[in-house]
């Protein structure tokens, strides 16, 4: 189709669900006569706001390429009728909307879905219902189908993400629908609270969070969907549907970012779906959640890193057009045999590279061990990261004070307006006495690390429960120390969701999942591992009492000991790539 063709925009088009509720959509379609495939996205953030409807792709350009593009408000949000029940409502509503879209007079009967974050979930949930018309999807920066912790990691609440989503994404329309008195004044108060959200994150117990308590109509929603991990309903519903419908076998193009809060879930989606059929693709940029620019955090990765100019050859919109052309305008059962399904951005050298699989088969899992003279704090500079297992036993000690937690600084965060995400210089934090720092000697050769990363930690604590955080860092010759990826483990959940017995001062082995990265540590750079016990407010702080700050104000200090040596060989496992 000629991209100079005009399009028609139909606004507030109703779609009737099986229970009679009407959901409303804006539709962009070619002006010329004919039948066209449909691309659908369903979002809770207002289809009429370009920051969401045009966030990272151009729906007008897609329509001009011969598609009907439908952007719909989900149930209970903005123009659509009904009550908003996050995530759980998107199974049947997704199915009904796909069927409706396929039956439009100008539709050719084939439907694809696209969107990021929540509107990545809406694709997966609709796909699980297996509507016949749904032919392919393009989920970006979204959750994993087998995981239920929407704002949790390893049983630990991602506090800033949960509270920000509640106050910034949910409240506007929710208060208006509830018919609160003086809506404008209420919203002005919400905006003031958002301006002070860093301060509000400090409040405990957070089950009585002040910005919610000010508006009593919000309390039931906050309690059900945030304090109770969505009431436990979503996990049960997901497991039920996976059991009933089997694994997804739908063609899917997965988009991820190394600094995205949904990185691991997106990678797991690819791995789980790729094992079924050869009809999956994956692209991973140096991006954070919802941001695909070339400058992320405090680092610039070069213009070719941008999702709007990928390698100078394509952009995210063209990726969508090419993907859906292949599946909705042609007849295929798999991607071309000569086409690599994976494309990753390798930081450090700042280059895109195609791969035949994820994780990479040529990975060499390489341990780096910690050792010290008993003072691994960066101020003392005795913490070392070495290639051979140490013989002599050693310990490093620090105090975790939950009333003075280590501040979050960079990483795959989901903070208000996307701030504080991505790579950031950690030197300032490393002056704290509650962070153990271990660093290699400057490298003489480049070392590429691409893949999943784990830390094996042997530690003891005098608290009944506590947390441990690990962070992988690239240290520049000038001393700047940029975070690559990180992870957290809670002692009582160290073996999964089942709670373990309280700690009694014994040495315990932990595994910390740092998710994944791709980075070349260049000659002159050093590899660094940090270990601490808080990363706040990204994660709720552990009060060290066996309770959580959700429902208690009581906090106590914990004396933490990091063990290393032959008996307790604490180490990080790096996926080293030999090219």
Rounded Cα gap, residues 526 and 482, in angstroms = 11
Q: 289, 400, 409, 571: which one is catalytic?
A: 289
Rounded Cα gap, residues 89 and 74, in angstroms = 9
* Residue with tokens 């706040």, as numbered in its chain: 536
Query: Residue 531: helix, strand or coil by DSSP?
Result: strand
Q: Residue 462 catalytic?
A: no
C-alpha radius of gyration, the chain, whole number: 24
Rounded Cα gap, residues 315 and 554, in angstroms = 51
CB 422 within 8 A of CB 410: yes
Residue 36: strand pairing partners: 107
Rounded Cα gap, residues 296 and 350, in angstroms = 13
CA geometry: angle at 546 spanning 540 and 552, to 5°? 60
Rounded Cα gap, residues 355 and 477, in angstroms = 30
Residue 108 DSSP code: E
Rounded Cα gap, residues 325 and 39, in angstroms = 11
Query: Residue 88: helix, strand or coil by DSSP?
Result: coil
Rounded Cα gap, residues 475 and 32, in angstroms = 57
Rounded Cα gap, residues 448 and 104, in angstroms = 51
Q: 53, 80, 117, 526: which one is catalytic?
A: 117
Residue 405 DSSP code: P
Kind plus residue range of the DSSP H or E element containing 172: helix 171-178
Beta strands in 363-499 (DSSP E): 363-371, 384-386, 394-400, 436-439, 447-461, 467-475, 481-490
CA 524 to chain centre: 31
| H-assigned helices in 8-128 | 50-53, 59-64, 90-102, 118-128
DSSP code string of 291-327: B--SEETTEE--GGGSTTSBTTTB-HHHHHHHHHHHH
Q: 173, 260, 434, 486: which one is catalytic?
A: 260
Dihedral sign for Cα atoms in the order 29, 34, 38, 42? positive
CA 550 to chain centre: 22
Q: Residue 117 catalytic?
A: yes
Rounded Cα gap, residues 490 and 157, in angstroms = 11
* The two structure tokens encoding residue 434: 């509650």
Integer CA distances (angstroms), 461 to 396, 457, 466, in order: 12, 13, 8
Largest CA distance in the chain: 78
Query: Residue 203: helix, strand or coil by DSSP?
Result: coil
Kind plus residue range of the DSSP H or E element containing 417: none
CB 365 within 8 A of CB 559: no
* The two structure tokens encoding residue 158: 């991602």
Q: Which residues are catalytic?
A: 117, 260, 289
């Amino acid at each position: 189709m000629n991209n100079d063709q005009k399009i028609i925009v139909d606004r507030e088009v109703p779609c009737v669900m099986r229970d009679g509720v009407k959901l409303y959509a804006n539709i962009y379609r070619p002006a010329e006569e004919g039948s066209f495939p449909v691309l659908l996205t369903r979002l809770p953030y207002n289809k009429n706001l370009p920051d969401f409807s045009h966030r990272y792709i151009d729906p007008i350009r897609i329509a001009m390429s011969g598609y009907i593009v439908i952007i719909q408000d989900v149930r209970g949000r903005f123009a659509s009728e009904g009550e908003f029940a996050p995530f759980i409502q998107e199974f049947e509503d997704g199915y009904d909307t796909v069927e409706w879209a396929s039956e439009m007079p100008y539709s050719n009967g084939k439907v694809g879905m696209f969107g990021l974050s929540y509107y990545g979930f809406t694709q997966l949930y609709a796909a699980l219902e297996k509507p016949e018309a749904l032919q392919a999807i393009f989920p970006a920066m979204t959750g994993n189908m087998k995981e239920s912790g929407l704002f949790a990691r390893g049983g630990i609440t991602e506090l800033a993400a949960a509270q920000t989503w509640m106050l910034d994404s949910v409240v506007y329309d929710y208060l208006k629908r509830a018919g609160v008195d003086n809506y404008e004044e209420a919203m002005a108060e919400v905006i003031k609270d958002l301006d002070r959200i860093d301060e509000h994150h400090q409040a405990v117990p957070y089950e009585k969070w002040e910005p919610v308590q000010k508006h009593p109509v919000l309390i039931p929603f906050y309690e059900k969907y945030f304090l109770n991990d969505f009431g436990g309903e979503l996990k049960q519903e997901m497991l039920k549907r996976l059991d009933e419908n089997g694994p997804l076998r739908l063609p899917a193009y997965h988009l991820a970012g190394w600094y995205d809060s949904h990185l691991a879930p997106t990678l797991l989606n690819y791995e789980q779906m790729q094992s079924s059929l050869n009809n999956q693709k994956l692209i991973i940029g140096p991006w954070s959640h919802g941001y695909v620019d070339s400058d992320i955090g405090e680092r610039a990765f070069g213009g070719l890193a941008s999702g709007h100019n990928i390698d100078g050859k394509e952009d995210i919109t063209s990726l969508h057009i090419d993907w859906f052309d292949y599946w909705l305008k042609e007849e295929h059962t798999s991607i071309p045999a000569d086409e690599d399904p994976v494309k990753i951005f390798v930081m450090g050298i700042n280059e895109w590279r195609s791969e035949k699989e994820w994780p990479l088969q040529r990975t060499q899992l390489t341990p780096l061990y910690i050792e010290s003279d008993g003072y691994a704090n960066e101020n003392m500079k005795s913490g070392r990261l070495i290639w051979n297992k140490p013989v002599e036993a050693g310990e490093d000690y620090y105090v975790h004070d939950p009333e003075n937690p280590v501040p979050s600084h960079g990483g795959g965060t989901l903070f208000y307006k996307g701030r504080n995400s991505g790579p950031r210089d950690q030197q300032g934090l490393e002056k704290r006495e509650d962070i153990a720092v271990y660093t290699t000697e400057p490298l003489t050769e480049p070392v590429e690390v691409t893949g999943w990363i784990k830390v094996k930690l042997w530690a003891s604590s005098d608290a009944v429960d506590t947390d441990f955080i690990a962070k992988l860092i690239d240290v520049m010759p000038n001393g700047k120390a940029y975070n690559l990826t990180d992870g957290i483990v809670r002692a009582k959940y160290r073996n999964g969701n089942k709670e373990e017995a309280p700690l009694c001062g014994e040495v315990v082995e932990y595994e910390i999942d740092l998710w994944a990265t791709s980075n070349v540590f260049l000659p002159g750079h050093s590899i660094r591992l940090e270990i601490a016990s808080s990363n706040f407010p990204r994660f709720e702080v552990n009060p060290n009492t066996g309770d959580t700050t959700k429902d208690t104000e009581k906090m106590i200090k914990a004396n933490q000991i990091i063990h290393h040596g032959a008996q307790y060989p604490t180490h990080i496992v790096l996926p080293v790539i030999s090219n």
